[in-house]
Structure 1
């Protein structure tokens, strides 16, 4: 009998728990360790932040659903992983031993890297449902007394889609309130161009997103390093394509939301040969750490080198479909080891992104996510908005009932006519 521990209960961790329980042998134990008693559907946070959704719409209590699947649950949270002795030190002082560990913690939000950034500073966040609820309260005050908005992502960020989504969702909400004309909006991003997305662009993402920004009267500043944020002003340095300082900006705002850079969580950061200097888990082609062969990792906590050097640092996103492929591969590889075989399954690392713009949206498909690609495709329309709503409903149902198959995004690929390229 083996004890398989999954550290983290977000999109990757909970999917991993369900997939691992299905793949493991009958007598193997699967345990989830988290510092939260609930799962929250992060892609819905932009909607929560303008009150298009409530917390309960995107929330699942973990213990009941995991109990139904025969999966153990510990909500103490991890203080430190000790891979050399196969133990996790929990925050309450207990030690939890494992035979196999899957790290699926997601990121640590590095707000502290920019003075004044984040919910404890002067900008809102949509990275966690707690932040989104706080942002919604700030939004209520803002729409009663509107003014300039600054929105985007700081240097080192590795998830740009939600910034574009939130900009457009705010635009849609303001138009519904008939006060959009009172709100100048500026998009600030570390990306070298609009639509880079940390991926070197996907299809015509540059043209499509620039067109959307123009259509919605949103100005933008790219190659931007956010240096500090004050109560009503953001300080930004813009660089040229060679990395030379071009100009500085002082951007006044009454409401601001900037995505932070990501780091690895404290429980694993700084562990030699397990994580890189930013605290992300180093893995091989089978999702396994090269030094600690019984430690695997999936999701945002995985170390992936930037696709290309950019004048201002940008990271690589890990989208839902990419994470699900990591989960499936990891479950199959752990089962192989349990059966005395070597791991052989590789994640596809394909990217499927549905970016909602409030009443329409943009879809991106990159197979694989890292170029060169077999497919490099993008499209837009009202259908994307409806598809994003459908995905939310499907995924929340799946999490509440213990589903294991990443069927929805595969259906999207089939619908888009790329079935032969999805493997």
Structure 2
């Protein structure tokens, strides 16, 4: 009997661990093929460190072909140009086609810099969304240090990943203070969130109070309900919006250096496929991570469609954290096993959120179970221990990818974090930026 072919589209955080977990769950029952336009895994949460030269890109990269070969996963280092669900075909950019029995989409997002004139690495702001961008940002930061001036950091309308923006603002503050340049650098945080600490989740625990306090102590001004209308060289144009959507104030913010997170959309290969995506190109899935129109297609991670927590004056997306992604992977693997046995899928992902936001000399951690309120767990805390925890977790996760391990880590991290905080292990000395491993 011919083994079914399971194609995984994307080799990022979600795609890589999906390959490992599906192989572990199904054993030799299926042929597993990974399609990716690049053969290097990057640990995206470390990009803020790369952008200030606390990390070199090589330290957060894993070459995938060899590890996938060891795991019995065929690796195709060619991007997808399109999907034809009716034919169960993935079209590749080199003209080849891959026929699948089941497709797992884990592409991550396309970065929509073009939606705002002048935004992004091809415009006038830098990015930490991809390691290539972070490396470019590091070069720009070195040049900035020679002639420092105002900095603008934040996330534009439609963004759905706010934690890295806060993290990066605080890391910049830490690095500039270490260099004794902070007094020369006015800093403004610009965000589409309705309040500081909203995070696309309507806050978690006291993230509003914790993050506002951090920003006040670090002399970082902020503008919320912000809509960026355009970016010129050294000048960002921002509309501050009232709760009813009317324009309250127009800001023209001068900057010498700026990092703004963009809005996301689905990648070109899937956008516009009838029944597969929403208008932004994100994959529609049911509670079993399957597309309702094409049930042989599963999806996970940032590429899936999740409605916002509620209306906001400026569009705010919902983050898909590593905790959620691992849970989606586990559900997909278990459901595929049931389907191959002729059973109906029954496993559902637990959409919980956990985040370690490192500030270089401390940080904020939060956990939401479930991610969308009301919640059973609504917890946040801050301290120097968060910085140490982020370093430890980076090493742990990279080892997992290098070894092809499939066990979930975020849930263990969540339990360890809360347990450690409850027994007041909050005095763990944080490594300084110079001693980041």
Match of 1:170 in 2: 172
Cα pair 1:394 1:408 within 8 Å, conserved: no
Q: Note the alpha carbon deviations across 1:130-178, whole angstroms, 9 max, x for none.
A: 0000000000000111000000000000000000000000100001101
| TM-score normalised to structure 2 length | 0.95
Q: Does residue 1:335 correspond to 2:337, yes or no?
A: yes
Please, which runs of 5 or more residues in structure 2 have no aligned partner? Answer: 421-437
Match of 1:235 in 2: 237
* Pairwise CA distance, 1:220: 0.1
Match of 1:279 in 2: 281
Cα pair 2:192 2:225 within 8 Å, conserved: yes
Match of 1:400 in 2: 402
Take 1:280 and 1:353, find their aligned partners in 2: how far apart are those partners? 23
- 2:151 pairs, out of 134, 149, 152, with 149
Take 1:109 and 1:411, find their aligned partners in 2: how far apart are those partners? 29
- SS of aligned partner of 2:34: strand
Take 2:201 and 2:177, find their aligned partners in 1: how far apart are those partners? 31
Q: Does residue 1:381 correspond to 2:388, yes or no?
A: no
Take 2:410 and 2:392, find their aligned partners in 1: how far apart are those partners? 9
- SS of aligned partner of 1:397: helix
Within 5 Å, which residues of 2 pair with 1:74-153? 74-153=76-155
* Pairwise CA distance, 1:27: 3.8
Match of 1:371 in 2: 373
- SS of aligned partner of 2:90: strand
Structure 1 runs (4+) greater than 4 angstroms displaced: none
Take 1:266 and 1:407, find their aligned partners in 2: how far apart are those partners? 31
**Paired residues, number:** 418
- SS of aligned partner of 1:416: helix
Take 1:39 and 1:353, find their aligned partners in 2: how far apart are those partners? 20
- 1:319 pairs, out of 315, 318, 321, with 321
Aligned-residue Cα RMSD (Å) equals 0.9
Q: Note the alpha carbon deviations across 1:237-268, whole angstroms, 9 max, x for none.
A: 00012211101000000000000000000000
Cα pair 2:367 2:414 within 8 Å, conserved: no
- SS of aligned partner of 2:250: strand
Take 1:386 and 1:378, find their aligned partners in 2: how far apart are those partners? 16
Please, which runs of 5 or more residues in structure 1 have no aligned partner? Answer: 419-423
Take 1:412 and 1:296, find their aligned partners in 2: how far apart are those partners? 26
Cα pair 2:46 2:60 within 8 Å, conserved: yes
* Pairwise CA distance, 1:391: 0.6
Take 2:108 and 2:162, find their aligned partners in 1: how far apart are those partners? 16
Match of 1:391 in 2: 393
Cα pair 1:34 1:76 within 8 Å, conserved: yes
Match of 1:68 in 2: 70
Take 1:10 and 1:27, find their aligned partners in 2: how far apart are those partners? 24
- 1:213 pairs, out of 195, 206, 215, with 215
- SS of aligned partner of 1:24: helix
Take 2:214 and 2:242, find their aligned partners in 1: how far apart are those partners? 23
Cα pair 1:391 1:408 within 8 Å, conserved: no
Match of 1:421 in 2: none
* Pairwise CA distance, 1:415: 4.1
Match of 2:205 in 1: 203
Take 2:67 and 2:134, find their aligned partners in 1: how far apart are those partners? 24
Take 1:345 and 1:279, find their aligned partners in 2: how far apart are those partners? 25
Match of 2:162 in 1: 160
Take 2:413 and 2:41, find their aligned partners in 1: how far apart are those partners? 24
Take 1:34 and 1:6, find their aligned partners in 2: how far apart are those partners? 9
Cα pair 1:289 1:296 within 8 Å, conserved: yes
Cα pair 2:354 2:410 within 8 Å, conserved: no
